[in-house]
Amino acid sequence: MCGIVAAVAARNIVPVLIEGLMKLEYRGYDSAGLALLNPTLTRLRSVGRVAELAAQAAGQVAHHGIAHTRWATHGVPSERNAHPHVSAGLAVVHNGIIENYAELKQELVAEGYVFASDTDTEVIAHLVRHTLKSTPDLFEAVRLAKARLIGAYAIAVLQEWDDAIVVARHGAPLLLGLGDDGSYAASDASALLQVTRRMIYLEDGDVAELRRDGVRIVGADGAAANVPADRPVNESTLSADDVELGDYTHYMQKEIFEQPQALAATLEMIGGAQTLSPNLFGVAAPEMLAGVKSVLILACGTSYHSGLVARYWIEQLAGIPCSVEIASEYRYRISVPNPEQLVVAISQSGETADTLASVKHARALGMGRTLAICNVAESAIVRECA
C-alpha cells in the first residue's frame, strides 16, 4: 500500500510533502512523485527512493502541492507511470484501483484526450478536466467525476491558478490535518504529525476541499458535512518515534529488533492480572467475545503466516475451531458467513487494502464481531474493527 500527502499552507509546503512521503515509506512503494503550483504546475517524479525526489525538489518553493508514493497495479514501475498524472494544468495522485478505467479510457480517447501512461489513474486526470468543461468549479468537477469511478481509491487533485486542493476517498484511507497556517491531507496520521495533531478521518464517499483557511467536506449523500458535528476533529496521540526508522536500515529490520520491546509493552498492559481480561481488547469486547464459537483470521503476506501459527495456538488453548484465509481470496470468493464467528484482521500497518476490504466484506455478510491486530492504533483497519 502506498501513500498520498497534500498541502495548502502559508509556509513553503515542499519540505512538508517530502517529510510526509518519508513517513509513509514504511508502507512500501516503487516510485514517488509530486506536483507543485508555483503558480504553474511543476511535476517531479523518481523511480528511486523518496530521498532522490527530495534532491530533485531542493530549492523549490510552493504553497500548494500533492505528493505520492506508488505501488504499481496498472503499468510497470517507471517514471512515466509514476504519479502525479496530468491533464493540461491539472494533476492527480491516486492510491488504489479504478476498476472501470478501460471503459472510461475508451470514452476519453474518443473525446480526443491523449494518454501518456499505462495507469488506471490517468483516466481520473482527463475525466476531471473533461468535467470542468461543464462546471468551472474544481470541487464540483471532482464530485461529478467521482460518481463515474468504480473501485477503491483515495485521490488528491490540484490545478493551476486554483486556490484549493480537492481530495476524495472511497475504500482507501485518507485523513485531513488542520494546521495553524493551512490544511493538509494524507493516507495516515504519521505523515502529518510534523505540522498538526488535529486530524479529521474522512468517511467513505467524502469529497473535501483544502484551503489555507480551512476545509469543506461533502459526504456521499451530497450534503455538506459539518465539522465537528459530522466529522469530529481528533487529537492524534501517535508518537513520532513510533514511525521513525532510527538507526535501522529498513522497517522490517526495525520490527525484528523491536520484538522484545513490543512484547514487553504488550505484557505490561496485563502485568499483575490473574486472568486475561477481554476488556484489554476494548470496552465492547467482553460482550462481543462471549458468544464466539470459532475464529476466522484474515491477513496477507507475513501477517497471514503469523495467522497460521495463531491457528495452532487458538485451537490448542481456546479449544475452538480457527481458520485462516488470505484476505484477497476471501473477499472475492463465495463463502458461508457465520455471524457467531470472530473475525480477526492482522496487518502491520493497518492499511493493507485487501485486509481492510475483507473485513468490510465480512461485515457486509453479517459478521459483526471483528478484532484487529495491528501496529498502528489509528489506522484504517483498527477503526474499521472498532
**Binding footprint of ligand GLU on the chain (CB under 6 A):** 2, 70-75, 81, 94-97, 119-121
**98 or 367: CB nearest ligand GLU:** 98
Q: Is 89 exposed, middle or buried (0-12, 13-18, 19+ CB in 10 A)?
A: middle
Q: How far apart are CA 44 and CA 337, in angstroms?
A: 47
Least CB distance from residue 255 to ligand GLU, whole Å? 22
What do you get for the CA distance between the two ends of the chain, in Å?
21
Whether residue 68 contacts residue 167, with contact meaning beta carbons closer than 8 Å, is answered with no
List C-alpha distances in Å: 29 to 169, 238, 249. 20, 23, 16
Q: Please state the closest distance from residue 59 (CB atom) to ligand GLU, in A.
A: 27
Q: Which residues of 131-161 are buried (b: 16+ CB within 10 A; e: fewer)?
A: bbeeeeebbbbbbbbbeebeebbbbbbbbee
Q: Which is nearer to ligand GLU, 153 or 330 (CB)?
A: 153
**Whose Cβ is closer to ligand GLU: residue 96's or residue 307's?**
96
CB nearer to ligand GLU: give 78 or 323.
Answer: 78
Grid cell, residue 361, equals 466484506
Contact of 335 with 326, CB cutoff 8 Å: no
Please, which residue, 96 or 219, has the CB nearer to ligand GLU? 96
- Please say which residue, 300 or 324, places its beta carbon nearer to ligand GLU: 300
Taking CA 97 as the corner, what is the angle to CA 93 and CA 103, rounded to the nearest 5 degrees? Answer: 105
Cβ 1 to ligand GLU shortest distance, Å: 7
SS3 97: strand
Beta carbon of residue 289, minimum distance to ligand GLU (angstroms, whole number) = 35
CB of 118 to ligand GLU, least distance (A): 8
Instruction: Quote the least distance from Cβ 75 to ligand GLU, whole Å.
Output: 6
